[in-house]
Each structure stands twice: as C-alpha cells, then as structure tokens.
Amino acid sequence: MQNLPTSWSTPTAALTATGVGGVAMAVAALAVTTDPAGRFLIGLAALGLLVVTALGLRQRPRLAIRDDNGGVVFQRLGSRLEVPRSELSRVRIVRYPRLGRRVPMLEIDVRPPGSDDDRLLVFGRWDLGTDPTNVFDALNARGLVPPDPHRASDR
C-alpha cells in the first residue's frame, strides 16, 4: 500500500492568512478609519476572519483514519466523533455547482446501530486541505468505503 495520509484538515497557511488578515483589519478599524460606519464594517470583517481562524484551529484534524484501521474520527466544534467501519453506510464524491463550476465534495453517511436515520457529513477542499477525491481514494484504499452500486456515476 502506498504511503497515503491518514488525517486531513484546513491548511495551516490558510488559517495563518485569515488570522493575519483579521488582525490587520482590526488594526485598520481602530487606528486608520475615522468614519464610524466604515470602522464598524471593517471591524465586523475582522471579527469574521478571526472567527474563521479560530474555528479552523479548533477542528484539527477535521477527518482522520483511526490508528487501528477500524473507522474514522471527525473533529467537530464541541467534540470528537469516532465512527467504526460498521457505522459507515456510504462514502462518496458528489459534485455540487459552485461559482459556475462543479466542485467535488466528500459525503459520508453515518448510521449508528439501532437508528433508522443517517447522519450526513460533508467535507470540501477547505475542510480537508486537499481535493476531496484524494481523501476518498485514501479511505477506499483502507477499505473504509462501503460498496455502493451507484458510485461510478458520482465520480
């Protein structure tokens, strides 16, 4: 088996850029702008960038393969969700229209034992730090993609 990654998260460089941008905009709002409306809008944008940075740092790694190769781990805002292989009901790539093109997203359906409802988890390039199809291939290589007769049409 190739030496494939086992965890994925938002790239550190992207989070650094949003953090630096947030700090720069906060400084601009406080020190540069004298217009109250402009100060408010720039401060709001700075706050938004800093929140995105904090959320990205909190959810690292966003998706990881368990060391025992028995499932996957999802990092959420409040907790980690460990899902054994038996609870993965579907893993697939779906292409969503976004900004005039079709963007691949990794969809993972989780069905806890005794439940009739699936939990849908969707990951994009920002969440994973790479093309979602690469993550799908890594999960598939480790046997974490349940058989899906419709998969060929999804990719």
Give me the pLDDT at residue 116, please. Answer: 76
Q: Which CATH code is given to the segment(s) 63-154?
A: 2.30.29
pTM of the model: 0.79
Q: Which residue has the tokens 């060391």?
A: 67
Domain borders along the chain are: 7-58, 63-154
Give me the pLDDT at residue 3, please. Answer: 67
Give me the pLDDT at residue 78, please. Answer: 84
pLDDT in tens, the chain (155 residues): 456 678 899 999 999 999 999 999 999 999 987 888 999 999 999 999 999 999 999 988 999 988 776 789 998 888 888 888 888 888 999 998 888 888 999 999 998 777 777 889 999 999 999 999 999 999 988 888 888 655 554 44
Q: Encode burial over 119-155: b for 16+ CB neighbours within 10 A, e otherwise.
A: eebebebebbbeebebbbebbeebebbeeeeebeeee
The CA distance from 113 to 136, in Å, is 24
